[in-house]
Structure 1
Amino acid sequence: MALNLFSRKQAEAPPAIEAATLRSDRFRLERQSDWQRLESIVTALEKNRPGRIADDDLLELPVLYRKAASSLAVARETSLDAATLAYLESLVRRAWFQVYGPRTGFLRWLRSFFGGGWSAAVRDLWLDICIALAVMVAGTLVGWLLVAGDNEWYYRLVPDSMAGGRHPGASPEMLAQSLEGTEGAEGLTVFAASLFSNNSGVCILAFALGFAFGIPTLLLLVHNMAMLGAMLWLFHQGGLGFDFAAWLSVHGTTELFAILLAGAAGLHIGRSMAFPGELSIMDAAAASGRRAAVVMVGCVLMLVIAGLLEGYARQLVQTSEARLTIGLVMLAFWLAYFLLMPRRAMGAKVDPA
């Protein structure tokens, strides 16, 4: 035992430090039973033998850890002997990992994430999702009505880089040509990568702006959806409303879902900061941020899938009916996953410090 080792070292100490040794001995003797009990529990857990630990000992593990941490703090303040200090530092470090450290490897974390952790985190944000959805629908209607009332609004809402020749006054033939696919996949990899970069930027911004009490997140959602509403009006005027909706749905049901979740995650943080309850604003932001971060990890995955669908499936599939089928299948898949997947909490724990 490590305790016996540093006891022998203390016995060999010169007379000049005998008083300090006696003080250290008294400190150690008063607490060593708890340290030894904690060490035996930690050793069993490190060897993956929890069955050898009594139920009472397992329940006492957090308490014993706190006592050892307190003893370490006292040992540092009173400058006890180096052996006792080294022993306590090692014991507290090992015990912290067993009490607060992550329990799972990466593959097990992935199984927990996809097996219910992600969907549970999304369902926890149901109120924020409802708010974000209402704002997105309102933004789409605003964009439609603004452009319907004055075509000049189209140029304010839709940047030239995204318009691509699709503007008020364009012929139905030109608009239809912009929806046509391609028979080959050459060059689509770069296109898909650029789309993923753009869409991920919108999601990250919607999430990050939540720390300003969610107000910028709402404005960003309104602006982006107003742009979509303007384009919906344009194609509807050209008699291509169904074709544009089908063209958009291939990736849009996944991409817009990801933007919805990212916006809801940002709103969740902003709402918790505006109404922290009994917590401080920073504690409320930290708690909601951990929950929202799980949602954002999934949003990145959804954007990867949306980028592939937009860069490949939407370009290679030629008919509106087939495109709409792909979009509806993806929407059904996401709804089924988020609504029907059994709840399972993520396994990692967080250092309370």
Structure 2
Amino acid sequence: MNAMSATATAAETQAIARAALRSDRFRLEREPDWQRLEAIVTKMEKDRLRRISDEDLLALPGLYRTVASSLSIARETSLDAATLAYLEALVQRAWFVVYGPRSSLWDWLRGFLGGGWSAAVRSIWFDVLIALAVMVAGTAVGWLLVAHDPEWYFALISPEMAGTRVPGATHEALRNSLFGQSDQSGMSVFAAGLFSNNAQVSILAFALGFALGVPTLLLLVQNTASLGALLWLYNGKGLLVDLIGWLAVHGTTELFAILLAGAAGLHVGRSIAFPGNRPVLRAASEAGRRAAVVMAGVVLMLVVAALLEGFARQLVDETFGRMVIGGFMLTAWCAYFFAFRGNASGVRRS
């Protein structure tokens, strides 16, 4: 038994020695290429392109393929873990340098705001029109429902959001909810509730678009019906214009964001339902890319709306000034989306 154990131990030792020798030989034969690639990648990661020679730049793709091949061989021959880890990390870094995005975040943002976003919105113009019609119809439905039966008001607007803004409230109570409330928490809660609700609606309107766009349309109707109910309430006390001014400061941006989110979701759903001559997956993929660009802008619009809601509306406490701010924002968004062309490269129209 001792002789057999000694023989086995000797065999294992020889196997380990052969593996180590093979690993060392493998590394020595290829290490110069690895080191050269690592030096090039490090310089490019540090934006030191001027320090890289033309020869190294030309050799970069070949070096990447060589190191990737070395990694494949190392995995097949079960070389030591340290070599494998080193090669895997190097190949990953080199891949981003060779095949990764060529533009920085600033370049992407400049292209996005410089025409990419507006072009994406124009490319789904038909869906924007449908979403707009549905939102207008939803507002009208909300108004008519509460006008017929005020009990609908509580079905459309939650008690937490409504607060004192309920049917039967006096003219003075409703007016006080619009003016001189910058230092009171009640109005801040109501404003925060509106923003939170609209942000959720925007995200859901887009996310539910895959179901052929039907849930998106229903969500737009539900959300704007509550707006119609609120308009009816204030109109009954002669405060409709004042309410519109109160909403306009942030609402022209916030509702525009909901409109675009709904249109983006509808665009995806419509592409799935009516792919045309394209396969469904391809149609959905193309629509999804356009809609994703639109939704990236929707997030930006919601941030702008939050800033307007948190500052501009509190600082401006009269209807005319609020109307001016809201009208300016609406004009600016329309001009950007439908008049400004900029650099729309990379966004395909449907």
TM-score (norm 2): 0.70
| 1:191, distance to aligned residue in structure 2 (A) | 7.5
Are 1:129 and 2:128 counterparts?
yes
**Cα distance between partner residues in 2 of 1:194 and 1:141:** 22
**Cα distance between partner residues in 1 of 2:94 and 2:224:** 51
Paired position in structure 2 for 1:234: 233
Paired position in structure 1 for 2:174: 176
CA contact (8 A) 2:153 2:229 kept: yes
Paired position in structure 2 for 1:13: none
Paired position in structure 2 for 1:279: 279
| 1:318, distance to aligned residue in structure 2 (A) | 1.4
| 1:287, distance to aligned residue in structure 2 (A) | 2.2
Paired position in structure 2 for 1:249: 248
**Cα distance between partner residues in 2 of 1:186 and 1:297:** 33
**Cα distance between partner residues in 2 of 1:153 and 1:286:** 40
Q: Which AA in structure 2 matches 1:177?
A: R
Q: Comparing 304-313 with 220-229, which one deviates more in the overlay? A: 304-313
CA contact (8 A) 2:175 2:239 kept: no
SS at structure 2 position matched to 1:167 = coil
| 1:186, distance to aligned residue in structure 2 (A) | 8.2
Q: Which AA in structure 1 matches 2:141?
A: V
Q: String of CA shifts for 1:76-104, please: whole Å, max 9, x gaps.
A: 99xxxxxxxxxxx9999799757853121
CA contact (8 A) 1:268 1:292 kept: yes
Q: Comparing 221-230 with 92-101, which one deviates more in the overlay? A: 92-101
Paired position in structure 2 for 1:138: 137
Paired position in structure 2 for 1:109: 108
CA contact (8 A) 1:119 1:341 kept: yes
**Cα distance between partner residues in 1 of 2:272 and 2:89:** 38
SS at structure 1 position matched to 2:266 = helix
**Cα distance between partner residues in 1 of 2:91 and 2:344:** 30
| 1:297, distance to aligned residue in structure 2 (A) | 1.2
Paired position in structure 1 for 2:342: 342
SS at structure 2 position matched to 1:288 = helix
**Cα distance between partner residues in 2 of 1:161 and 1:321:** 29
Are 1:160 and 2:159 counterparts?
yes
Sequence identity, in percent? 60
Q: Indicate how the Cα distance of structure 1 residues 244 and 111 shifts in structure 2: closer, same or farther if over 3 A, else same.
A: same
**Cα distance between partner residues in 1 of 2:250 and 2:210:** 29
**Cα distance between partner residues in 1 of 2:219 and 2:139:** 12
Paired position in structure 2 for 1:294: 293
Q: Which AA in structure 1 matches 2:303?
A: V
* Unmatched tracts of structure 2, length 5 or more: 1-40, 77-87
Q: Indicate how the Cα distance of structure 1 residues 266 and 178 shifts in structure 2: closer, same or farther if over 3 A, else same.
A: farther
Q: Which AA in structure 1 matches 2:111?
A: S
SS at structure 2 position matched to 1:318 = coil
Q: Indicate how the Cα distance of structure 1 residues 144 and 264 shifts in structure 2: closer, same or farther if over 3 A, else same.
A: same
Paired position in structure 1 for 2:320: 321
| 1:324, distance to aligned residue in structure 2 (A) | 0.7
CA contact (8 A) 2:111 2:343 kept: no
| 1:216, distance to aligned residue in structure 2 (A) | 0.3
CA contact (8 A) 2:264 2:291 kept: yes
TM-score (norm 1): 0.70
**Cα distance between partner residues in 1 of 2:161 and 2:182:** 22
For the aligned residue pairs, the C-alpha RMSD in angstroms reads: 4.6
* Number of equivalenced pairs: 326
Instruction: Give 1:160-239 correspondences, 5 Å limit.
Output: 160-171=159-170, 173-182=171-180, 195-239=194-238
Q: Which AA in structure 1 matches 2:250?
A: H
* Unmatched tracts of structure 1, length 5 or more: 1-41, 78-88, 348-353
CA contact (8 A) 1:175 1:238 kept: no
Q: Which AA in structure 1 matches 2:179?
A: G
CA contact (8 A) 1:246 1:320 kept: yes
**Cα distance between partner residues in 1 of 2:309 and 2:288:** 30
| 1:344, distance to aligned residue in structure 2 (A) | 2.3
| 1:195, distance to aligned residue in structure 2 (A) | 4.9
Q: String of CA shifts for 1:28-61, please: whole Å, max 9, x gaps.
A: xxxxxxxxxxxxxx9xx99969xx99xxx9xxx9
CA contact (8 A) 1:179 1:244 kept: no
Q: Indicate how the Cα distance of structure 1 residues 272 and 91 shifts in structure 2: closer, same or farther if over 3 A, else same.
A: farther
| 1:183, distance to aligned residue in structure 2 (A) | 7.2
